[in-house]
Amino acid sequence: EGQVGCDVAIECVGNEHALKACVDAVRKQGVVVQTGLHPHENPIDWFQVTFRDLEVKGSWAYPTHYWPRVISLISSGLLPATKIVTKRVTLETAVKEGFDALLDPAGTHLKILIDLSK
């Protein structure tokens, strides 16, 4: 009992509904990782966190000292923002085409988007 659900759920978009979905999606003693930046205070159901013995972690994802350089590169046109997503995959092919591509030692992809509309 309590082992239905995923081991880890990662919220990356800064949306309160996505964070709630992550809490709901993990199994008992699962892990919720918060990397998305929320524009305002976000309530979390601490009863569920405690009752289901969940682990909630925050991760900054990218150190802030990178931001000025990246902003400068995008502003100058040296890093075209529209080319950051280098591959799009469907949910059904996310592991085979997405994660495998990111793990490829050649490192040809920057961001791979999972397109949920297909």
Q: What is the pLDDT of residues 35-78, one digit of tens each?
A: 877 777 878 899 999 999 999 998 876 777 888 998 899 899 99
The yes-or-no verdict on residue 1 having pLDDT over 70 is no
User: H/E/C letters for each residue in 18-86?
Assistant: HHHHHHHHEEEEEEEEECCCCCCCCCCCHHHHHHCCCEEEECCCCCHHHHHHHHHHHHHCCCCHHHCEE
Amino acid residing at 17 = H
- Note the pTM of the prediction, 2 decimals: 0.57
Q: Under CATH, domain 6-58 is a member of which superfamily?
A: NAD(P)-binding Rossmann-like Domain (3.40.50.720)
- Mean pLDDT (the chain, rounded): 87
- Beta strands 111-115 and 55-58, pairing class: unpaired
The pLDDT value given to residue 61: 67
Indicate the helix (H) or strand (E) that contains 100: helix 100-103
Residue spans of the domains in the chain: they are 6-58, 64-115
**Contact by Cβ (8 Å): 112, 101:** yes
The pLDDT value given to residue 10: 92
Q: What is the pLDDT of residues 67-112, one digit of tens each?
A: 899 889 989 999 887 888 889 999 899 888 888 888 888 888 888 8
Question: Cα–Cα distance between 57 and 30 in angstroms, integer?
Answer: 11
